[in-house]
């Protein structure tokens, strides 16, 4: 069986979404990539989490063709593939319809950085893509979804803001590993929820001062980080 370890990481990250209450029924999907092998491991489409095993994880190439596995991959696979091709530092991707992050996506609004919880993980607002055109929807819809995210990140670092909202749809999150991608999906939902409460408390709430955004992001990330026990997350 190809990529046994990556399959296990992908399965575990998918189950983390279940444990954290981010997915309903078969919603959501996490994948991982082996850039060396140019292969992706992704959750199968519409299969219950309760019985999912490493051998159910589908292995595809970077054109989205199944290389190993009896099941169909998640229908969002072409979105994942575009992100892997565009962002070489990404090792895992998590897609959920978690409720508050999805509400921001449905409102077509980026999530402003209102506090240090956000700044600890996302260096700046979490952006939202523009709506796709009817042509982009009609042909290669899922691939075009990925391209829309990539275009949105022109001039931005995917490592500094490891998530995007797709307009009218839901978030995609990523990280160096499948576990990190799922972790960011959980944090994003908490951040989206607190941002929702914040603007309901104060319609024109100010975003966090830039110096404080930098401080919190950099005390957890990069070479001067001093949060945690010294290992990278």
Q: Does 194 bind its own copies (CB under 8 A)?
A: yes
Figure out which of the listed residues 7, 80, 152, 183 binds its own copies, where binding follows CB under 8 A: 183
35 or 97: whose CB is closer to its own copies? Answer: 97
Q: Does 177 bind its own copies (CB under 8 A)?
A: no
Q: How far apart are CA 184 and CA 187, in angstroms?
A: 5
Buried b (16+ CB within 10 A) or exposed e, 122-160: bbbbbbbbeebeeeeeeeeebbbbbbbbbebbeeeebee
Q: How many residues bind its own copies (CB under 8 A)?
A: 63
DSSP state of 29: E
CB atoms within 10 A of CB 231: 5
Q: Does 196 bind its own copies (CB under 8 A)?
A: yes
Token digits of residue 177: 């590993």
Q: Does 18 bind its own copies (CB under 8 A)?
A: no
* Half-sphere exposure in the Cβ direction for 37 (13 Å, CA): 14
Q: Does 139 bind its own copies (CB under 8 A)?
A: no
- 54 three-class SS: helix
Q: Does 12 bind its own copies (CB under 8 A)?
A: no
Q: Does 143 bind its own copies (CB under 8 A)?
A: no
Please name every residue paired with 172 in a beta bridge, in sequence order, or none if there are none: 95, 164
The residue from 56, 120, 140, 160 that is catalytic is 120
At closest approach, how far in Å is the CB of 37 from its own copies?
25
Figure out which of the listed residues 36, 50, 200, 223 binds its own copies, where binding follows CB under 8 A: 200
Q: Does 176 bind its own copies (CB under 8 A)?
A: no
Token digits of residue 201: 């408390």
Task: Please say whether the dihedral angle defined by the alpha carbons of residues 83, 89, 93 and 99, taken in this order, is positive or negative.
Answer: negative
227 is catalytic: yes
Q: Does 53 bind its own copies (CB under 8 A)?
A: no
* Residues 6 or more apart whose Cβ sits within 8 Å of residue 71: 44, 45, 47, 56, 58
Token digits of residue 47: 């299969």
Taking residues 107 to 126 in sequence order and writing x for each that binds its own copies by CB under 8 A, - otherwise, the string is xxx----xxxx---------
120 is catalytic: yes
Q: Does 15 bind its own copies (CB under 8 A)?
A: no
Q: Does 45 bind its own copies (CB under 8 A)?
A: yes
Q: Hey, which residues are catalytic here?
A: 120, 227
- Residues near its own copies, by CB under 8 A: 24-27, 44-47, 71-72, 75, 97, 99-100, 102-109, 114-117, 131-132, 134, 137-138, 141, 168-170, 183, 186-187, 190, 193-202, 205-206, 208-209, 211-212, 215, 219, 226-230, 233
């Amino acid at each position: 069986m190809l990529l046994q370890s990556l399959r296990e990481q992908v399965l575990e990250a998918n189950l983390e979404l279940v444990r954290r209450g981010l997915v309903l029924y078969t919603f959501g999907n996490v994948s991982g990539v082996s850039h060396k092998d140019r292969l992706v491991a992704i959750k199968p489409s519409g299969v219950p989490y309760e019985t999912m095993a490493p051998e159910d994880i589908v292995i595809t190439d970077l054109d989205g063709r199944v290389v190993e596995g009896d099941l169909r991959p998640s229908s969002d696979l072409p979105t994942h593939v575009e992100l892997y091709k565009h962002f070489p530092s990404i090792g895992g991707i998590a897609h959920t319809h978690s409720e508050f992050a999805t509400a921001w996506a449905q409102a077509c609004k980026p999530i402003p950085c209102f506090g240090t919880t956000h700044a600890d993980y996302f260096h700046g607002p979490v952006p939202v893509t523009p709506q796709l055109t009817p042509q982009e929807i009609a042909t290669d819809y899922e691939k075009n979804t990925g391209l829309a995210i990539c275009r949105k990140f022109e001039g931005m670092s995917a490592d500094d803001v490891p998530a995007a909202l797709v307009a009218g749809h839901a978030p995609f999150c990523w990280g160096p590993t499948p576990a990190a991608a799922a972790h960011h999906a959980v944090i994003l939902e908490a951040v989206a929820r607190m941002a929702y409460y914040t603007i309901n408390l104060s319609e024109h709430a100010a975003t966090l001062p830039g110096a404080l955004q930098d401080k919190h992001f950099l005390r957890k990330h990069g070479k001067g980080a001093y949060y945690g026990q010294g290992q990278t997350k």
